[in-house]
Structure formats: structure tokens, C-alpha cells
Chain A
Amino acid sequence: MRLLEWQAKKLLFEWGLPVPKGAVLKRPAQLAQAVRKAGGFPVILKVQVYAGGRGKAGGIQKVANLAKGKTIAKDLLAKRLVTPQTGPEGVAVKSLLVEQGLTILKEFYVSVLIDRSRQMPVIVAAREGGMAIEELAKEHPEEILTTPFDPFLGLLSHQARRIVGWLGIPTEHREAATRQLVKLAKGFFSTDATLVEVNPWALTKELGMTALDGKITVDDNALYRYPALEKIKTADADTPSEAKSRVIGINYVGLNGTIGCMVNGAGLAMATMDLIKLHGGDPANFLDVGGGANAAQVREAFKLILADKNVKAVLVNIFGGIMKCDVIAQGIIEAAKSMRIKVPLVVRLEGTNVDAGRKMLKDSGLGFLTAGDMDEAAKKVVQAAKN
């Protein structure tokens, strides 16, 4: 799960990295109090959303007095922020971080993550802060330094010191910066993070080396170790449909198309989406019902898919291995009966007990469109969504 900036900064502060003073607000009326916590004007207002590219989209504003601040806060909280990462529909802004305005002398970049090809944790540092690291990697790879380190020993002081020297941080700030990097790496492990990114990690006049922004992604598979985070995730880290899917125990990701998909297995689910696109359609979602789905989960999955009003047709693609096709067919029939599904439903079953499953669908009289293979199924559902 991804943390919002203010949640990430709270952790960074606990780990021992300086962050600007500040407070979070959800209503413009809370501004005066938040400004006091931030130490008075000028302050920075920052929208709290999961997408990057907030600054260029107008989601970060400097404010010098209360009257203007309230207008801007009201405006930001009413808005759907559109950045290159959100898609054209944007994301709703639910809260703002109000922060002490600092004098920035120089900006750097630092992150900790697991390098999948090295199979080791690495700390990535860059001499240029504030821009997306993938862009910098393309344009100026020589400005980036990647240092692998041992997960049991953590980042060693001399490794951190070398990074700090390479970055060119002024001498009087080097030891503090070194300690911050060691703490950052330690924090990465203490939260089962998959990414901790401080961008910019800035030298400020007021606080020395400071985390001006923070992005932390925690491994979903490790959330059971952090009950407090698990609550946040279900409450607001996902879209409502994604949160619901977690409760039901299936994997769901909402997309912008018109063809709902229900598939067993993540790889097959992605391949099914790709196939729909290949035949000229647009998938409305990724949905993996899992290897051992039962009739109740199939019904809940249909509910999730059909809650999306853009859905014009649904494709069910099941390769029954351990999950038997007749059991799945039963689940589909029960769901279709109890929910009165109004959009066309294309069902492709293959695998264990496939003949029994296909016969049940045919005999149900519910008008399912069936297909012998996934190619035919995708073509049929694309056609059905157009009608």
C-alpha cells in the first residue's frame, strides 16, 4: 500500500529525519489552527493524493496570509487533481498538508528499494532533486548513484558517508546527512517497505538536510504485521471497489473501459484484458477470483464488476484446474439468477469437468453467450459491448 505524504513524513520523523512543521486539514475552516502548528505564515499547502506530479498540476501552493489561504484551500479541496499519473479524470482531493515554508538551498534525491535483478536492497541517490527519478535516469544517468547493501547489516556508515560525499553536501552538514541515510535504510526494514523515497531531500536554511516530500510503499503481504496501516488501507488507500475486493478476498483493479472481466489467476486475467484490447475492446477492470473461489465469491465478484456503470458486457474466462468447471458454472448461474444481470455475459470455461459446466450453462436458459476458446470469447464480448 502507498502512504500519503503526511503519513510518510510522520514515519520519516519517527525514524529521525527532519521534516517541516505542519498539520493536515480536511476543511478550509481548520486553516488558522494548521498554520499555527506550521509556525505561522508563509506556509505551503499541498494536496494529499497518491499521484505524483502534484506541483505542476497546481496542487502545491505557497500562501502568505489567512484570507488568501482560505480561498486557495477551499479551491484545492473542491478540485479533482489531474496529473500525468492520474489520467484525464483526475483524483479527488480529500485533505491538504499545511507546512512551514522553508528556504531551500539545494535539492537532492534519495530512495531505498529492493533491486529485483540484484536481489539486494539498494539506496539510490541523485544530485538533482525534485524531478521524477525515471526521467533523470533517462537524461542524466551519471547524476545517479546506486549502492547495494546487506539486509542483515543495514546501510553501513561508511557507505552512507560515501554517498553524502558524492552528492556534494556541504561539509558542515555531512555527518547529519550520513546519519539520516542510515536511519532511512533502517526505517525501510522496520516497516516492510518496498519503496521509501525522499524527493526532494533538501538542504534548507532553517533545518539543514530535510525531507521535503516523502513517499512510502509498504508490502501488502506484510500488512498483517502493522494493524494500524491495514486500517488506513481499507479506509482510504484504495478506491471503494478495490477496498471491497480486499474484504471479499479477490484481486480487483478498476480501469476505464466497458468490458467487465472475471478470470481465475492473475496472469490469465492480464492476458484476457490484453486479448480484449487486441480485438478492439477496452477492459473495465482486472479481476482475479483466485484459485479456490466459491459460489459466494463469484457472486460478490459480479457485484463489483456491475457496480461500474460503464460496463456494457462481461467476460468470464475460467481455466478450471483444481477449481472445477461445474462448480464455477453453478456459481455463475446462481449469481445471474439472484442479481438479474442485464448486460450480455460471455462465458468461456475450460479444464476439469468442462463438459458438465458447459451443459449447465446451456440448460440454465439464462441466455449466456458461450465460447470454445478465449479468442472466440474475447471477440464475442467486444461485439456484445458495441451493440
Chain B
Amino acid sequence: MAILLDKNTKVLVQGITGKAGSFHASQMLSYGTQVVGGVTPGRGGTRWEGLPIFDTVAEAVAATQATATAIFVPAASGAEAILEAAEAGLSLIVVITEGIPVQDMLKVKTFLGARINPGTQLPVIIGPNCPGLITPGQAKIGIMPGYIHKPGPVGLVSRSGTLTYEAVWQLTQLGLGQSTCIGIGGDPLPGTGFVEVLERFEADPETKAVVLIGEIGGSAEEEAAAFIKKKLSKPVVAFVAGATAPKEKRMGHAGAVIAQGQGTHESKIKALKAAGAAVADNPAVIGRTLAQTLQKLQVQV
């Protein structure tokens, strides 16, 4: 059953006629995702690969009953694309777009937090600047290569893209499949944080263990550690990238920066260890660390 996404989820692609949008829409379709239409303002009424294109998300939802969207629009219109999807009532909004200004996200989050449409459920926003999410064997919304995944019991949540693929590939090669893998993105204000994802993994009977991949910057790992300690009954393996990163330098991701002494590697590792997570200090042994942890705890997977 996994979390957030399965083979029945109907998905729109915002920016479907762009280069990245169209390429990944085809990749999602061939993985088995139910992509039901696309949105490109000005192209409403035309078709892409046989799928209908709409001018607005609201029209697309009315015609297709989609509940999820993948956003591939340029960064300058990213915030508006998210708000449009939220207003149209979509419950899962996956923002692949990289480079959305942090103050735009701040306003999106404040605006949605004020619940302008009383009675509607707030959407789950994954990203921005993320690879998306995949429930192996069922569906993916995002840009990750599908074939490295395998269905199974491990829930994975990460702030990274290719490092996530690396960890997934290690798991798959060891025969450890995944329930759902979620990249929450490398920005300072992600739509969904570690804690919200961990809550869902805890509630999901098919997820038996969790892999968490963090990096320097902010305090998301420390908050995750507090949740792990108090509420997570499942074993956790963690890796945090950036032990060698200099201070005050942005390491590729907008959110990966140690600023004013906050967000250091040591602080995150200390918190995760204290919470009982098995921390891998070597990114090449994330999979093996999980296998050993499961063996030690005698968890059957």
C-alpha cells in the first residue's frame, strides 16, 4: 500500500509541453503512472501524445479527476503553479522545479497555512528542487530512474537526488526493496519535511524500516531525530552528507549551507545517534548498515 502514491493515483503534469516536462511525462507513463493530462497556459484544447492539454489546473481536474500533479514549470512561475494546483484541490503536489526563490516559498506556505478555502484539506507538497517520489512497481511522480527500485519494505526519505539513487541501488542489490522513496528536496523551505514523511511511514503497515538521508543546513535532521526518539517504532538508518563542507558556503542545494553556526554535520549526527538511529558514516555502506541493523533486530523483511 505504501504512502501517498500508488498505481491508481491520477496525475497531471504542469509544464507538459516543455523539454523536461514532456520527457519525464513519457518516462512516468512507461513506468506505469496514470498520467491523465497536462497543463500549459495557451495550449488548452490541444493534445500531447494523445493526452489532453488544459490552460488551467482547475479545468484539468474537472475533466480528468486527477488528484496529483508534477510541476516542471520555470522557477519564476513555480510559486504560482503550486498555488494554482492547491486552489484546484489537488492533494499531492510534486515540485521538481529547481531555483524557486525562498521568499516565494515562504509566501506559498504562509498563504496555504491560512487555509483560504475553508473545509478543504491542505495539499501535501513535495519539493521544490526534488527528484519526486516513487512507489516501486506501481507509480512514480518525478525524475528518478525507475529500474533501480524494487518493491519491498524499506521507506526512504532524502533531501538529495542522486545520493538517493545511490542508496536505493545499494538496497536493491542487497535484495532490500522499498515501499515508497521520497526526495523532499534541497531547498531551505521544503513543502514537506522529514517529520511528516516519517509519520506516514510509521502509520504504513508495509513499511518495516526507514532510511533517512540528510545533509548540512537547517535543523530538519534534528527535528527528525526528536520524532524518531518519541514516536517512530521502526528501525532507522541515517546518513548525513556534508562532513567536509566549509561553513557559510552553499553546497549546490540552496538549503545546504551552514549559516551563523546553525546546521552543522556534528549537530545532526549527534541528534540522530542519540535518537537511536544507526548512522552510517560512509555513504557507500548505507544499504549494508540497514541489512546489519535488520539482522541485529531480527526484523523479517
Contact = CB atoms under 8 A, between A and B. Distances in A.
Interface of A: 85, 114, 116-117, 119-121, 132-134, 137, 150-152, 189, 192, 194-195, 219-222, 224-225, 251, 253, 255, 263-278, 283, 286, 288, 291, 319-322, 350-352, 373-375, 378
Contacts of A220: 250, 254
A319 B283 CA distance: 13
Nearest to A133: B260
A273 B244 contact: yes
Question: Which of the listed residues B161, B169, B213, B219 has the most CB atoms from chain A within 10 Å of its own CB?
Answer: B161
Given A117-B220, A267-B186, 19 more contacts: A116-B255, A134-B262, A151-B107, A152-B107, A192-B101, A192-B103, A221-B101, A267-B161, A267-B215, A268-B283, A269-B252, A270-B251, A271-B166, A274-B241, A286-B251, A291-B161, A321-B143, A350-B169, A352-B147
B216 interface: yes
Nearest to A50: B248
Contact of A267 (B75, B145, B253): B253
Interface residues of B, number: 66
B102 interface: yes
21 contacts: A114-B106, A117-B219, A117-B223, A120-B106, A120-B110, A151-B106, A219-B254, A222-B104, A267-B186, A269-B251, A270-B251, A271-B283, A273-B245, A274-B242, A274-B283, A277-B244, A278-B282, A283-B244, A286-B249, A321-B143, A321-B165
Main secondary structure of the interface of A (DSSP, over half): mixed
Contacts of A151: 103, 106-107, 110
Contacts of B122: none
A136 to B, nearest CB: 11
Nearest to A377: B284
A134 B188 CA distance: 19
B144 interface: yes
B299 interface: no
A85 B150 CA distance: 46
Contact of A221 (B100, B106, B281, B284): B100
Given A152-B110, A265-B160, A255 B215 contact: no
A267 B241 contact: yes
B164 A189 contact: no
A150 B107 CA distance: 9
Of all A-B residue pairs in the complex, the 8 with the closest CB atoms, nearest first, are A267-B160, A266-B252, A265-B162, A134-B261, A267-B163, A375-B284, A222-B101, A271-B283
A133 B158 CA distance: 30
B248 A134 contact: no
Nearest to B100: A221
Contacts of A121: 106
A275 B147 CA distance: 26
Interface string B228-249: 0000000000010111111111
A276 B282 CA distance: 10
Given A119-B109, A151-B107, A374 B219 contact: no
Contact of A319 (B102, B169, B244): B169
A152 B109 CA distance: 11
Nearest to A378: B284
A374 B283 contact: yes
A221 B254 contact: yes
A73 B283 CA distance: 49
Question: Which of the listed residues A116, A120, A150, A375 has the most CB atoms from chain B within 10 Å of its own CB?
Answer: A116
Question: Which of the listed residues B100, B106, B160, B162 has the most CB atoms from chain A within 10 Å of its own CB?
Answer: B162
A272 B239 CA distance: 13
Nearest to B254: A221
Contact of B241 (A255, A270, A351): A270
Contacts of B220: 116-117
Nearest to B283: A271
B76 interface: yes
Contacts of A374: 166, 283-284
Contacts of B103: 114, 151, 189, 192, 219, 222
Nearest to B259: A195
Interface in B149-169: 158-166, 169
Contacts of A264: 162
A119 B223 CA distance: 13
A266 B253 contact: yes
Contacts of B144: 321
B218 interface: yes
A137 to B, nearest CB: 8
A220 B103 CA distance: 11
Nearest to B163: A267
A320 B160 CA distance: 14
A219 B102 contact: yes
B189 A271 contact: no
